[in-house]
Structure 1
Amino acid sequence: MPDNSPQPASGLRTLRVTDKTTVAAGVCALTLQLPDGGRLPEWAPGAHIDLILPGGLTRQYSLCGDRWDAHRYKVAVLREPDGRGGSAYVHDTLAVGDEVVIGGPRNNFHLAPATRYLFIAGGIGITPILPMLHAASAAGVPWTLLYGGRTRETMAFVDGLTSDLGGEVRIWPKDEFGHLDLDGAVAGQPAGTKVYCCGPAPLLAAVETACGDLPDGHLRIERFVPKDNPPPVRSEPFEVELHRTGTVVTVSPEVTVLDALREAGVPVLSSCAQGTCGTCETPVLAGIPDHRDSLLTDAERRANRSMFVCVSRSCGDRLVLDA
């Protein structure tokens, strides 16, 4: 039988919790370092790491600290009462001095060059945005941040978000101002502005609607949970050829490509198993994938250069993968 449990990402290393701080109601920030204090791999704004927790839980958290600090990673974790226990473990059990295994960092939310940026964050979605603000300011690119949350007390890092960062900051607690004025924020931006958004699913859907007239590639979104998909294009089995070995694997309707490859003895790394983290991205050499991930842009889907085998399938009888 295939192993259906999420698998940790490559580049595993054990880090020590050197600081744990409450940064908002229900949000704690962790600082992580190598036990010997050594250098950590570099990362860029938008990157995240996997926290591999007891009980087989693997959770992705955006890096939100100083990207130029070579010795520390910083993440912020929202307590999720309806979650599967990962955030509860971090909040209630993980302590300063404890060690935790991480994977990554990886980046599916790169900050592309632009003449101006509009950053939109909802709740804990501020975490991948924070390093982007500093990067944009360092590059001399003007930006606006629209940051919403239920209440000011639940909004992490809000005290440090001022115009001193180099851009325009709009803090928008719902209990004070109502829903975010997305249409006004988008309409007020000059041509060429790129929009970056992270937050809960309703916010992302609203932003997609507000940015419907923007050119391809001008809106980038990072999701916490996978978006809803229609039924698969194909309900019959299909074949996957692995170009490096010539192995051909048949994928039945009830099995993912990832599980079919593993059952055939092909090692494929994965983490979320939901098409949101990017670990299992695999180059496509031939065939048309049925893209079912929450990462690729429309342009990237049309290009068909890669697919995420944990959720995506095939539109036709055969795919050829560079694996």
Structure 2
Amino acid sequence: MQMIVHERRDEAEGVVSLHLGRADGGELPAWAPGAHVDVTLANGLVRQYSLCSDPGDRARWRLGVLREPVSRGGSEYVVDKIHGGDIVEIGEPRNNFALDPSPRYVFVAGGIGITPILPMIAAAEAAGAEWTLLYGGRARTSMAFRGELVRHGEKVTVVPQDQAGLLDLAGLLGTPRPDTLVYACGPEPMLDAVADAMPAWPVGSLRVERFTPKTVETDGPDTSFEVECAASGVTLEVPPDRSILAVARDADVRVDFSCEEGTCGTCETPLLAGRAEHRDTLLTEEEREAQDTVFICVSRAARGCPRLTLDL
């Protein structure tokens, strides 16, 4: 849908927020904390950004965007080229980082990873849940939306690395807490450190969202396999050097996709038969074991499985 940038604000060094409304003045789709949207840029790139406004506001959305030092062109374009009054193409909200009900939460944010956490905090407050936030960043001047967090007092701990070092994740997460969910979003090293600090926590306590693909270790070189597209009635050969998504597109099989990195969730496809080797950054271990869905931009057939049957 076409949306107009009503306002653009500088939120921190290298971080801007875009305040958007429908170009036709209509009501925006509903969304819940943790949701993100695709932004289609004029240079042809499609990028995903978390919604960080009030889900109850059906007139305006807010996105927070960091100008990445090593950009593939997306964040650089948003920060340098998009201004108030511009029209941008925005997709429907999708949520791979949903906030599940819990009496207690621990939120951990690194840098621009604060964006999906902001509406989660508001939802936790509204539900009367206990919560704390540990928010780290390179420097205080680079940490966006700090002003919105001041009113929460001691529930929020802000840790600029240049002044206080790295986040004390072992101190925060070293001892499991009953009936508590941990939500973390930020750079990959921080997310790895959060997971490393939680070996004694119950399975499913940690929920993470990644902005970049997680490095996936494989047992050996990729091999060819077949994909039966049950809805289309065709069977495709996927060679070692190509993805299911790429082969399906070449065969004119209709597929939805965006990031092509296994991070956005757009290309999720029901797995009807066979066993997949999951290479996305979205599924939990329990969901991987269920073997009922696959992200076709990155995942492949498991070793020894010659064919997948997909609802394509």
Query: What TM-score bracket applies, with the shorter chain setting the length?
Result: over 0.9
For residue 322 of structure 1, report the CA deviation from its aligned partner: 1.5
Q: Which residue of the partner structure matches residue 284 of structure 1? A: 271
| 1:33-68 CA distance string (max 9 Å, x none) | 111221011000000011111222111100000110
CA distance, structure 2, for counterparts of residue 26 and residue 151 of structure 1: 12
- Where in structure 2 are there 5+ consecutive unaligned residues? none
CA distance, structure 1, for counterparts of residue 121 and residue 167 of structure 2: 19
What does 1:5-24 correspond to in 2, within 5 Å? Answer: 13-24=1-12
Structure having greater relative contact order (Cα 8 Å, sep ≥ 6) = 1
Q: Do structure 1's residue 236 and structure 2's residue 238 form an aligned pair?
A: no
Paired residue for 1:200, among 159, 181, 187? 187
| 1:244-266 CA distance string (max 9 Å, x none) | 23321111111100011111110
CA distance, structure 2, for counterparts of residue 231 and residue 188 of structure 1: 32
Q: Secondary structure at the match of 1:250?
A: strand
Q: Which residue of the partner structure matches residue 221 of structure 1? A: 208
Q: Which residue of the partner structure matches residue 6 of structure 1? A: none
CA distance, structure 1, for counterparts of residue 63 and residue 215 of structure 2: 27
Q: Do structure 1's residue 93 and structure 2's residue 81 form an aligned pair?
A: yes
For residue 212 of structure 1, report the CA deviation from its aligned partner: 2.1
CA distance, structure 1, for counterparts of residue 239 and residue 96 of structure 2: 29
Q: Secondary structure at the match of 2:91?
A: strand
Q: Secondary structure at the match of 1:208?
A: helix
| 1:189-245 CA distance string (max 9 Å, x none) | 621211000001110110110112222211011011001112366733111112223
Conserved? CA contact 2:232–2:253, under 8 Å: no
Q: Which residue of the partner structure matches residue 8 of structure 1? A: none
Q: Which residue of the partner structure matches residue 7 of structure 1? A: none
Opposite residue 8 of structure 2, the aligned amino acid is K
Q: Secondary structure at the match of 1:162?
A: helix
Q: Which residue of the partner structure matches residue 255 of structure 2? A: 268
Opposite residue 276 of structure 2, the aligned amino acid is P
Q: Do structure 1's residue 143 and structure 2's residue 127 form an aligned pair?
A: no
Q: Secondary structure at the match of 2:119?
A: helix
- Where in structure 1 are there 5+ consecutive unaligned residues? 1-12
Q: Do structure 1's residue 317 and structure 2's residue 299 form an aligned pair?
A: no
- RMSD over aligned CA atoms reads 1.5
CA distance, structure 1, for counterparts of residue 257 and residue 143 of structure 2: 31
CA distance, structure 1, for counterparts of residue 234 and residue 309 of structure 2: 10
Q: Do structure 1's residue 114 and structure 2's residue 102 form an aligned pair?
A: yes
For residue 320 of structure 1, report the CA deviation from its aligned partner: 0.9
Q: Secondary structure at the match of 1:90?
A: helix
| 1:267-312 CA distance string (max 9 Å, x none) | 1011000000000000111110010001111111011110100000
Q: Which residue of the partner structure matches residue 16 of structure 2? A: 28
For residue 177 of structure 1, report the CA deviation from its aligned partner: 1.5
Q: TM-score by structure 1 length?
A: 0.93
Q: Which residue of the partner structure matches residue 175 of structure 1? A: 162
Q: Which residue of the partner structure matches residue 120 of structure 2? A: 132
Opposite residue 138 of structure 2, the aligned amino acid is R
Opposite residue 240 of structure 1, the aligned amino acid is V
Conserved? CA contact 1:232–1:313, under 8 Å: no
Opposite residue 306 of structure 1, the aligned amino acid is T
Opposite residue 319 of structure 1, the aligned amino acid is L
Q: TM-score by structure 2 length?
A: 0.96
State the percentage of identical aligned residues. 51
Conserved? CA contact 1:233–1:290, under 8 Å: no
